Amino acid sequence: MADEEYGTFKQRVVPWPIDSYPPWGFSILAGIQHVSALFGATTLVPILFGNAMGMNDQQKGILIATVYMVMGIATLIHVDKRIGSRLPIVQGSSFSFIAPMMTVFAAIKKQGGGVDQMMQAMGGALIYGGIYELIVGYSGLIGLLKRILTPIAIGPTIMLIGFGLAGTAVSNAGTNWWLSLLVVALIFYFSLISKNKRLNTFAVLISVVTVYLLALILSLAHVFPANSPSFVHLDSVAKARWIVWPTLFRYGTGSWGQRAAQTLKFNTLAFTSVLAAYTASMIESVGDYYSVCYASGAPEPSEHVISWGIGSEGLGCIISGMMGGVGSTSYTENIGVIALTGVASNRVIRAGAVVLIIMGFFWKFGTLVATIPTPIIGGAYIALFGIIGGLGIQTLSRADLSSMRNIMIISFAFLLGLGLPGWIQAHPIVFSSHAWEWLADILNAIFGTGMAVGGLSAALLDNIIPGTDAERGINVKAVS
């Protein structure tokens, strides 16, 4: 595919640009390829949340199926030019929400709450946080954030999202190290060593499925005992119904109206915890919009495109919170598929979104996915969380890393982001007056989340300490 100069981009010439209409058969197959590319990472987030909340396999199956459906809906919203960016970006589960929601789950467990209460808190946080993202997007405020949040602030934030989850990855992998490391080894092989581009694209999915089948065989052969974390339990799949119908405000007790009121009850801890996640997700998405425009042979995204894209992502998160899903964001993996194939047609993206929605009706399929053993999930986490941290380093490369100003800001922010949350969790902020409990909750949520601490401290220092635009990485694009 040839490249031609276009403004500040080298505009690519692709066979199927954004507004093209490939044949429906081709579109469906290409759409399924997009679903396959996001399947592994998008599935791992609800599995992690389900495990953290203590869900059984059938409950996780409903959560997974719901996530597929809401990601399909969010994608359709995003590619609609009337309310979205019109860019061919698939929406998937966001890793930014993992750390803050783990803090929320732990607090609810201490209060004696169960799955319903944790899902309500996450749903409410997604709804109110989604309103925040929607306002920042559709109002055009995202332009101001772009100036304040430079690569110096974004890089440590993304690094802390990935590297801050190292404990979660290792604790899952430690239940059976050889099975977990086999997943890691296969991901490295299929993504870096194999010369087959199809294997490169589906490296995580192929690795997880291969090791899952091995674990299933060893379970049926009684090599893994039934009480082993590596054992594959299929009885929950047999018990699950084939179809699960989408339900608004599924979790809680009482009538539909009572469940809705329970979910919509404002939770200060949950809301303040996810604000940093939403902000990090928005900034990452802006970078994705530039990347997908280059991959698609389109001109740079305008401020209107960026604003409508972020606003539509907030709308998708609101719907996800109402339906019982997880936070969504634009998926870089699928931009890679467009860059690799040159198929940027929105018809293809819509076809993939419809496939996701259809998958969301199959409870039995979601339950089957939920039977993936813990060590296999841990192996995938080790690879994916490390990659997320690496993307933070890549973001920092847009700034001048030979500058001592930048080195000092980055190192201080990263160290504080790693160290302060643990100290705050052990020594929470407490005010003597009950009237200020709400403020204590906010401060504990912010300072107890690594990416919030790192991002805020880096942004504060980067905007106070003098530095040139080139030094701070403003208007500097990553090398493609």
- Are 341 and 88 in contact, with CB atoms under 8 Å apart? no
Q: Pairing state of beta strands 9-12 and 3-6?
A: antiparallel
**Taking the model in full, what pTM does it have?**
0.79
C-alpha span between 202 and 213 (Å, rounded): 16
Task: Collect all residues with Cβ–Cβ distance below 8 Å to 318 and sequence separation of at least 6.
Answer: 126, 127, 130, 131, 134
C-alpha span between 311 and 139 (Å, rounded): 8
229: nearest Cα among 220, 221, 239, 219: 219
Residue 8, pLDDT score:
47
Task: Collect all residues with Cβ–Cβ distance below 8 Å to 149 and sequence separation of at least 6.
Answer: 279, 283, 455, 459
Residue 298 to residues 114, 129, 252, Cα–Cα distance (Å): 48, 31, 46
C-alpha span between 49 and 55 (Å, rounded): 9
Residue 313, pLDDT score:
95
Residue 201, pLDDT score:
61
Residue 12, pLDDT score:
63
C-alpha span between 411 and 271 (Å, rounded): 28
Residue 248 to residues 72, 234, 358, Cα–Cα distance (Å): 16, 29, 17
The series of mean pLDDT values per 10 residues for the chain, 480 residues long, is 45 78 87 75 86 90 92 95 91 86 89 93 95 94 77 84 82 90 91 78 78 93 90 84 87 91 89 84 80 80 89 96 92 74 87 91 83 86 80 83 94 92 87 79 80 87 91 66
Residue 167 exposed, middle or buried by CB count within 10 Å (0-12, 13-18, 19+): exposed
Our CA dihedral for 249, 320, 212, 371, rounded to 10 degrees, sits at -10
**Tokens found for residue 95:** 């890793």
Instruction: Map out the domains of the chain as residue ranges.
Output: 3-398
365: nearest Cα among 248, 246, 243, 251: 243
Output phi, psi for 6, to 5 deg. -150, 100
**What pairs with residue 329 in β-bridges?**
92
| Side-chain half-sphere exposure of 423, counting CA atoms within 13 A | 8
**Tokens found for residue 166:** 């190292």
